[in-house]
Amino acid sequence: MEAAAALSIEVAVGTDRRQALEAASPGHTLTFDLADTGSSLTEIRREAARRPFAAVLGVDDETTLLASEASRALGLPHNPPEAIRATRNKFEMRRRLEAAGRPGPSFRLVPRNVDPRQASAEVEFPCVLKPLALSAGRGVIRADDPQGFIAAFARVSSILDDPEVARLKGVTEHVLVEQFLSGAEFALEGLLVDGRLETLALFDKPDPLEGPFFEETLLVTPSRGPAHLTEAVIEEARLGCRALGLADGPVHAELRLDRGRPWIVEVAARTIGGICSRALRFGAGVSLEELVLRHALGRPTQDLLRERNAAGVMMMPIPRRGTLRAVRGLDEARSVPRVEEVDLALHVGSEVVPLPEGHRYLGFIFARADSPAEVELALRRAYGCLSFLID
């Protein structure tokens, strides 16, 4: 909404939470059931007949498919809905990548109603169990042996029974089991323009993601990997987007190195999650969201390169379940050289839930410096100043 205001764009917000957004929106809201595509499209068409839209954008995983369907119905640029469906279903994504000849882990779909002891006898260890449609590492668990598999299967099933998750249609009856990939991981932020992937930023993830859960902490750009390696990562992301059928708009991809080459972990047709996009600036201080809006409206973006400074974000992990009672050391953290912002995402008194059941962070730390190493050091120092009292 801030980016739209900066560009003087009138916005209609499609939401199922009208009261929460009404006061903050400089435009107006359309309220409908995001899970009911048919009725939502009817409302969007009705509004478009009154005030035609120039673009329809999904801002998170839940809304990318509806945005694609609406754009197709209104004759606006869009990704094919079937491509979006593939990004929203991890099993279908794996099938499409495999069919296109892209390297990937072995995988299988396991119905939740099977005996996990029997299923554990048919998989290769170590493996990773995943829900089909959740993000931010929620429900992703590594298993190293049959006993670990059985425990992880029960835990993932419990997450899928959560009422918030159970309302997702067609993606809660199975668990995806993949071969575990070891090695360094990268996050790529990109923009598809006429089917061509423009890389906006390539992030290193300095903290190893080896399990049993996969909670991201540090993201630092530009990557410190050798040129031939980062070029291979970018090329694999490009080929992955093509295999999935994505052609237009923002892309967030996760890739992991294994056996000397990059493998796609996931591809999403949206920008990076949470407020992590604040780590990115383009041109003369243009935000990632403004860049995406410019592209959607057909405005020039080719001259908006990422700033030359290194930048990064620390996503503060939740150490244990409970009630957040206090956060200490904020002033010290904010005074660390090269740290620009320390932003708490959860208020004192909030219930906090760590991975794999949880899907939120305590907050975010942002830093900028001349080099990625300085950014990483500043983020770690700032986080080291903080302590969290959780009952």
In angstroms, rounded to a whole number, what is the distance separating the alpha carbons of residues 311 and 330?
20
User: Crossing angle for the helix pair 37-50 and 61-74, nearest 10 degrees?
Assistant: 50
Minimum mean pLDDT range among 12-21, 152-161, 206-215, 278-287:
12-21
Examine the pLDDT at 25 and tell me if it is beyond 60. no
DSSP state of 347: -
Fold of the CATH domain 185-303: D-amino Acid Aminotransferase; Chain A, domain 1 (3.30.470)
Instruction: Name the percent of the chain lying above pLDDT 90.
Output: 86
Alpha helices, H only, 52-145: 61-74, 81-87, 90-99, 116-120
Contact 214, 181 (CB under 8 A): no
Of the candidates 257, 264, 249, 391, the residue with the CA atom closest to the CA atom of residue 324: 391
Of the candidates 289, 52, 9, 63, the residue with the CA atom closest to the CA atom of residue 44: 52
**Is the dihedral angle over the CA atoms 344, 349, 350, 356 positive or is it negative?**
positive
User: What pLDDT, on the 0 to 100 scale, is given for residue 303?
Assistant: 77
How confident is the model over 311-325, as a mean pLDDT?
A: 96
Query: For 45, how many CA atoms within 13 A lie in the half-sphere containing its CB?
Result: 11
User: What pLDDT, on the 0 to 100 scale, is given for residue 35?
Assistant: 79
Examine the pLDDT at 226 and tell me if it is beyond 60. yes
List own/partner pairs for 34-37 with CB under 8 A and 24 or more apart: 34/62, 34/63, 34/66, 35/167, 35/168, 35/169, 37/65, 37/66, 37/69
Domain boundaries, the chain: 2-78, 105-179, 185-303, 309-391
Query: pLDDT per residue over 95-151, tens digit each?
Result: 999 999 999 999 999 999 999 999 999 999 999 999 999 888 999 999 999 999 999
In angstroms, rounded to a whole number, what is the distance separating the alpha carbons of residues 258 and 243?
20
Query: pLDDT per residue over 165-215, tens digit each?
Result: 888 878 899 999 999 999 999 999 999 999 999 999 999 999 999 999 999
Strand-pair partners of 324: 390
Contact 252, 188 (CB under 8 A): yes
User: What pLDDT, on the 0 to 100 scale, is given for residue 23?
Assistant: 53
CATH class of 105-179: alpha beta
Of the candidates 283, 288, 280, 234, the residue with the CA atom closest to the CA atom of residue 261: 234
Residue positions counted in the chain: 391
DSSP state of 306: B
- pTM score, whole prediction: 0.94
CATH class of 309-391: alpha beta
CA 353 to chain CA mean position, Å:
19
User: What pLDDT, on the 0 to 100 scale, is given for residue 26?
Assistant: 54
Token pair listed for 41: 């499209």
